Structure 1
Amino acid sequence: MRHYQYFFAIIIVLFSSLGIANSNLYGQIFVSPANSGNKNQDAVGFYYALPRNAIKVDVIIEKNERFKGPYSEFASKILGIDDFVKQDETSFKIIDILTTTVTEPDPDAWFFVEFDERGSKDARSLVFDLHSNGIILSFDDAQNSHGEIARKIDKTFVNAPNEKHFQYYAERNLYQRIDTIVRRITIDTTVIRRNILQSAWVDRNPEQKARAAADFIHKIRDSRLNLITGFQEINYGQSIVYMDQQLQNLEEEYLSLFLGKEVKTIIEQSVYFYPDKETKGIITLVKFSENVGLTNDGNGKGDPLQINIEPLMITASIIDENKTIGKSKLTNSLYYRIPDAADVSVIYKGKTYAKERFGFSQLGVLSTAPVNKTRLIFDPETGMIKTVKRE
């Protein structure tokens, strides 16, 4: 009987030793929230973060610039045109609004991983894969490679070409004036008249410049008429199309000296919004004015650009059982996030733009996952576990 007791005692010791050895094979870690006071001063380890998601609102705006021509005051007198730009002005108009999400580390979800330096030297090496910004990607999954957080959005903008304002305004400012001087020489009863020509270079006044530009417009039109009526009696082939187009462009440039120019460009301005668990309903982001575009001045003129957040509360059923998580120090476990989602839309002047449904890490629930004998892969955009491999 005594032999059996010794035999069972030896078996218990062996199993205990195997359990301790197996535990040492995987090492030991302690995870505590940053700034919680649970970190030892001489602790050896590193920080990792969980992600949060910001809403990026891209406002596509048409900018319309109207420039007064340098000879506009003579448009009616010289060309007989009354419809021209009378003053410089700029206006803005919203063409479209796009919404996407941007992922970054959550400043309220940083954690410190401390290694147990007292563990066995033969303990298995632990591998943590982090993004360059600190977001955790995986644990003990070295054989798998993980790409960077990347979201590609294709946008096509049709922009007006970069135009020089009134490029033919820099013409010669001087013209040659020739005066005839009559000199009378009287000798006795004989009077001799001698004409002397005297030339000088003088400045042109604005009206003279305007008339010179108008004369050149007429020359261009005559040249176009000769070209398209076959005055040269030469078959230029396709070249005649090119020459006619160039003459039209030249005529438009000179006409713009009187009529002014209107330049339209497409610009993109972005606004970022960070929803939290208290965010719900319609919130004003910025204001938009047709005179200045987007403005953050709350007292400024303009119509509000609003965002509507409708949380889906997907994680409502697990909030209570996880509400105390995130404050204590963990042993051989990691913090991760179970994300939630919300419907997002942007409203301007009663019109709804870009209604989308996005997942938000910070709206979800914080939870924990064991790391012993477990390999974990996390979603870098939500912080949720994507893959669990239990050994």
Structure 2
Amino acid sequence: MIKRTILPAAVIALLATVTSCYQTGKISSVPAQEVLPAASGVYYSLPLTTFVFRVETEQTLFIPGPYAAYAEKYLGFKDVGTDFMENWKITGIQFEAASVPDPARWYLLQWNTKCDLPLLYRQLVQQGLILDTPGKNNISIFHPAASGDNSLLQPAFSDVSYTDYIVEKTDTLYKTIFQDSVFVKMPVFRKHVQQKTLEEKASEAAHLIHKLRKRRFKIAAADYDILPQGEAMKAAFEELNRTEEMYLSLFVGKTISRKYSKTFLYTPSNDQPLETVLARFSPSSGWAEEKTSDALPFRLILVPQERNIPESEPETKKKKRENTITYRLPLPSEVRLFLGPDLVFQTHTSIYQIGTVIDAKVHQKMFCR
């Protein structure tokens, strides 16, 4: 979890403190829409908090084996699954509160000192209370790790038999011929190839499983005249186990898991409710586009703290903006995520756009470096 907490105490102290300085001048921040085209200065914007939720999910598939109907007959396995099943669950949530420029809050900072850039402005930028690069955001690029499981891209059961899939059979037909003044039936043999039945293939697979178990037991019991040694012994057991597991899955089925990641961006505002549904999640099908019967709402609830700093009164006269700089203090808030009735994530962060915009008075003795 990534959480950014803004601590503006240093900037507030900087505004209230006057050190030995250097030049006497004026500083003001003017809303960009009120600036004359020829005006000079530095443009900046107030920060806007955007939430980034990266939700990790896991899909689990159960694929029944093609020989599931014969598991009890040939292997003695009862209650083997014969139905396809799909399950989804949320395995993790990452959170980041990113600061981006507020397009409705651009200002022009002007000053008439000999400083290239007032130290106060740089301090506000460093604290995150203003942004000096409108149009640029600091949402980190997220590259989800690959699952590494390519099972879903391949046939679930690529090897269903170790023998031929077809069998050659001979049919005996009789034809009647006239021989020595009598009719005689003569046998005619006809060979043809036909596909094995499902039960025949299941019987062969079960026979191989029993044979593998017998060979593994004989190796473990040293019942061979010549036995593999060292790494060869280990490799032999691993191959016997792998082959047995592969053919067992033809009867008992196979479970495949794969992980996914989905990113949600959400920007709170005073005009929006404190509770919103980001998406819907179904335990049987994952993220749902519509309200399916089993889809649960994935809800975001914000619990902001009470404001303890009053909002600055809007100033209409240009004179009142002299020796002031406009910045924004964030409002600490609690962020909660619910899946249906269950709380799945909770954290604390600071939200700028529901915080307080302040026109702070600045002493005429500017901080210069």
- TM-score range (shorter-chain normalised) is 0.5 to 0.7
Does the CA contact (< 8 Å) of 1:276 and 1:362 recur in 2?
Answer: yes
2:196 aligns with one of 197, 204, 222:
204
**1:83 lines up with 2:79 in the alignment:** yes
**1:174 lines up with 2:186 in the alignment:** no
Does the CA contact (< 8 Å) of 1:183 and 1:193 recur in 2?
Answer: yes
Q: Secondary structure at the match of 2:310?
A: helix
Matches within 5 A, 1:262-281: 262-277=255-270
**1:51 lines up with 2:43 in the alignment:** no
Q: Give the total of aligned pairs.
A: 330
Identity %: 22
Q: Secondary structure at the match of 1:220?
A: helix
Q: Secondary structure at the match of 2:234?
A: helix
Distance 1:326 1:248, change over 3 A: farther
Q: Secondary structure at the match of 2:65?
A: coil
Once residues 27 and 65 of structure 2 are traced to their aligned partners in structure 1, the CA distance between those partners, rounded to angstroms, is: 74
Once residues 132 and 79 of structure 2 are traced to their aligned partners in structure 1, the CA distance between those partners, rounded to angstroms, is: 64
* Cross-structure match for 2:242: 249
Distance 1:323 1:60, change over 3 A: farther
- Residue segments in structure 2 that go unaligned for 5+ positions in a row: 1-22
The alignment's C-alpha RMSD in Å is: 4.7
Once residues 327 and 184 of structure 1 are traced to their aligned partners in structure 2, the CA distance between those partners, rounded to angstroms, is: 121
* Cross-structure match for 1:358: 349
* Cross-structure match for 2:314: 324
Matches within 5 A, 1:1-391: 32-34=30-32, 36=33, 38-40=34-36, 48-111=44-107, 136-137=131-132, 149=138, 161-163=149-151, 164=154, 165-169=156-160, 172-178=164-170, 199-233=191-225, 234-277=227-270, 282-295=275-288, 297=290, 301-313=294-306, 315-319=307-311, 322-324=312-314, 334-368=325-359, 374=366, 389-390=367-368
Distance 1:209 1:298, change over 3 A: closer
Q: CA deviation at 1:174?
A: 3.0
Q: Secondary structure at the match of 1:231?
A: coil
Q: CA deviation at 1:339?
A: 1.6
Once residues 352 and 328 of structure 1 are traced to their aligned partners in structure 2, the CA distance between those partners, rounded to angstroms, is: 50
Q: CA deviation at 1:310?
A: 1.7
Q: CA deviation at 1:202?
A: 3.3
- Residue segments in structure 1 that go unaligned for 5+ positions in a row: 1-21, 139-147, 375-388
Q: CA deviation at 1:223?
A: 2.1
The one-letter code matched in structure 1 to 2:346 is K
| 1:204-257 per-position Cα deviation (integer Å, ceiling 9, x unaligned) | 333333333222222222222222221224252243233212211211111212
Q: Secondary structure at the match of 1:104?
A: strand
Once residues 64 and 302 of structure 1 are traced to their aligned partners in structure 2, the CA distance between those partners, rounded to angstroms, is: 17
Higher relative contact order, structure no. (Cα contacts within 8 Å, ≥ 6 residues apart):
2
Q: CA deviation at 1:199?
A: 4.7
* TM-score, with length taken from structure 1: 0.65
* TM-score, with length taken from structure 2: 0.68
Does the CA contact (< 8 Å) of 2:100 and 2:138 recur in 1?
Answer: no
Once residues 96 and 104 of structure 2 are traced to their aligned partners in structure 1, the CA distance between those partners, rounded to angstroms, is: 22
Once residues 242 and 316 of structure 2 are traced to their aligned partners in structure 1, the CA distance between those partners, rounded to angstroms, is: 68
* Cross-structure match for 1:385: none
| 1:61-97 per-position Cα deviation (integer Å, ceiling 9, x unaligned) | 3321111222334434444434223222211123444
Q: Secondary structure at the match of 2:246?
A: helix
